[in-house]
């Protein structure tokens, strides 16, 4: 389990209160699991309530003993219904709040209605982006958790070599990888912020399966085993000489590390290895500009220029309507956090941001080819610190 000092939680809440003050918000109500965990140390409360002034508290109907054991820095208020909530609000001196904040990107309309009924004269405002920005720069304790995941992912080629057998399916290979992950601390799910996206542990996809279109905002989602859950490995047998992409997000203690590696059973076609080497060079070009002060968009443009110079302007980050407009993203308690290395993101990189860089190309009739690594941005002159230390070679199984 993650073990953060009390001071870290106090710092997080203090920074959040500064956001409330800057946006003239009297009261913030958090209900999304990631936000609850970041500020309280537990996903068990139904709500975390942070007033601009006064004591913060959590609200719950069940799991009360577990909340008392897990939550840090918030007192617990038990409730059964709306009448109880009204009394709690009165008791905590909050009935006159005029402006109430939510993370509306992931809050149900019925939840907002419930709170609007409690504060009929209040204005509701959305602080989704500000809340996500507050998590961009990671602490030393958080970065130490990322390092654990990186060490586990380092053994991926070894696990593949030990598990692979001729004509096994994507699903069988993925199951062997996921078995190793789960026994070594993977939490068993991947948290994504975007509505409608439900992800498993990652993608093991071979050949043209990796080109399958999905609404997931990524270049490679896999086919999956059903249209009901259309992501990840399929039941298709792995074919000799075809590229296999292994794109996994490792979630340890709630924190995600994103990594992509590639291999094939037998020698792949020359265009595969050529494209892979080109994406390694694009990744290196991106690494060179990942410095405090550089804008997120400037990093993206660097990747575009490097891909075009290598002859992959059309294929870079997808083909046609499947093309995505980014080359990397922040990772943390969610797989898809800011900073986003994408157009129209004119914000500066900062020391302590943790970013997954994933240059990839879609080759028609062949598959998705590329690499992904998670790195920490360090002070100017110190470069980046690589979390995913797994060998970057395209490896072969004969």
Could you read off the pLDDT of 231-240 as tens digits, one per residue?
999 999 999 9
Return contacts of 106-111, CB within 8 angstroms, 24+ apart. Answer: 106/32, 106/193, 106/195, 107/31, 107/32, 111/31
**Last-in-domain residue among 106, 133, 160:** 133
1 found inside a domain: no
> What gap in Å lies between CA 194 and CA 334, rounded to an integer?
10
User: Would you place residue 328 in the very low, low, confident or very high pLDDT band (cuts 50, 70, 90)?
Assistant: very high
SS3 at position 384: strand
The reply to whether 43 and 171 lie within a common domain is: no
Q: Do both 224 and 361 map to the same domain?
A: yes
- What does the pLDDT read at residue 370? 98
- Same domain for 278 and 382, yes or no, is yes
For the stretch 365-375, pLDDT in tens is 999 999 999 99
CB 159 within 8 A of CB 250: no
Average pLDDT score over residue span 17-30: 97
In a domain, residue 344? The reply is yes
User: pLDDT tens, 168-221?
Assistant: 999 999 999 999 999 999 999 999 988 777 888 999 999 999 999 888 888 998
Distance CA 155, CA 163 (A): 12
Last residue of a domain, one of 103, 133, 163: 133
Q: In this structure, is residue 159 part of a structural domain?
A: yes
| Among the listed residues 305, 307, 304, 302, the one whose alpha carbon sits nearest the alpha carbon of residue 287 | 302
Residue in this structure with the two tokens 């997080």, named with its chain if needed: 12
Q: Please check whether residues 272 and 213 belong to one and the same domain.
A: yes
Query: What pLDDT is recorded for position 2?
Result: 62
* Residues 336 and 211 occupy one common structural domain: yes
Residue 170, domain member (yes or no) = yes
Q: Are residues 69 and 201 in the same domain?
A: no
Q: What is the pLDDT of residue 216?
A: 85
- What size, in residues, is the chain? 398
| Complete DSSP assignment for 82-102 | HHHHHHHHHHTT-TT--EEEE
Query: What CATH number corresponds to the domain at position 119?
Result: 3.40.350.10
Q: What is the mean pLDDT of residues 355-371?
A: 98
More confident site: 198 or 229: 229
Residue 199 and residue 329 share a domain = yes
Q: Are residues 119 and 144 in the same domain?
A: no
Which has more pLDDT, 284 or 82? 284
Based on the domain organization, do 123 and 144 belong to the same domain? no
Q: Are residues 243 and 115 in the same domain?
A: no
Give the Cα separation of 77 and 86 in Å (integer).
12
Query: Do the domain assignments include residue 110?
Result: yes
What pTM value is reported for the model? 0.95
Q: What percentage of the chain reaches a pLDDT higher than 70?
A: 99
The number of distinct structural domains making up the chain is: 2
Chain-wide mean pLDDT for the chain?
Answer: 95
CATH for 350: 3.90.230.10
- Under 8 Å between Cβ of 336 and 342: no
Residues 264-321: tens digit of each pLDDT: 999 999 999 999 999 999 999 999 999 999 999 999 999 999 999 999 999 999 999 9
Residue at a domain's end among 133, 157, 189: 133
Looking at the structure, tell me whether residues 102 and 230 fall in a common domain: no
The per-residue pLDDT for 214 is: 87
- Same-domain status, 109 and 163: no
Beta strands in 61-153 (DSSP E): 75-78, 99-102, 123-126
Residue 137 has pLDDT above 70, yes or no: yes
Question: What pLDDT, on a 0 to 100 scale, did the predictor assign at position 303?
Answer: 98
pLDDT at 15: 97
Structural domain for 379, as ranges: 140-397
Closest to 370 measured CA to CA, from 297, 288, 272, 303: 272
């Amino acid at each position: 389990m993650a073990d953060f000092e009390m001071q870290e939680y106090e710092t997080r809440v203090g920074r959040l209160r500064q956001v409330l003050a800057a946006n003239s918000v009297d009261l913030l109500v958090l209900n999304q699991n990631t936000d609850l965990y970041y500020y309280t140390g537990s996903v068990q409360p139904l709500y975390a309530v942070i007033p601009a002034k006064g004591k913060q508290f959590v609200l719950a109907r069940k799991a009360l003993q577990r909340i008392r054991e897990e939550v840090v820095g918030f007192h617990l208020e038990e409730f059964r219904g709306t009448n109880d909530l009204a009394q709690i609000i009165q008791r905590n001196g909050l009935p006159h709040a005029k402006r109430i904040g939510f993370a509306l990107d992931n809050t149900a309309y019925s939840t907002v209605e419930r709170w609007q009924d409690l504060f009929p004269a209040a204005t509701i405002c959305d602080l989704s982006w500000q809340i996500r920005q507050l998590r961009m720069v990671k602490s030393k304790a958080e970065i130490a958790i990322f390092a654990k995941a990186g060490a586990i992912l380092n053994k991926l080629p070894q696990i593949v070599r030990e598990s692979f057998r001729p004509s096994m399916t994507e699903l069988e290979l993925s199951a062997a990888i996921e078995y190793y992950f789960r026994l070594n601390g993977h939490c068993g799910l991947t948290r994504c912020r975007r509505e409608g996206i439900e992800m498993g542990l990652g993608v093991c996809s071979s050949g043209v399966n990796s080109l399958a279109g999905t609404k997931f905002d990524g270049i490679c989602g896999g086919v999956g085993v059903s249209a009901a859950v259309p992501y990840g490995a399929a039941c298709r047998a792995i074919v000799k000489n075809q590229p296999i992409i292994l794109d996994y997000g490792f979630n340890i203690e709630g924190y995600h590390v994103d990594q992509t590696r590639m291999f094939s059973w037998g020698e792949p076609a020359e265009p595969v290895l050529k494209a892979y080497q080109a994406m390694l060079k694009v990744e290196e070009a991106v690494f060179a500009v990942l410095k405090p002060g550089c804008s997120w968009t400037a990093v993206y443009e660097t990747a575009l220029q490097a891909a075009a110079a290598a002859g992959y302007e059309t294929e870079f980050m997808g083909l046609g309507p499947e093309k995505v407009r980014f080359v990397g993203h922040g990772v943390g308690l969610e797989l898809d956090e800011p900073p986003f290395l994408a157009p129209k993101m004119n914000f500066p990189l900062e020391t302590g941001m943790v970013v997954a860089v994933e240059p990839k190309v879609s080759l028609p009739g062949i598959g998705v080819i590329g690499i992904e690594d998670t790195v920490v941005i360090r002070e100017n002159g110190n470069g980046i610190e690589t979390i995913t230390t797994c060998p970057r070679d395209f490896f072969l199984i004969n």
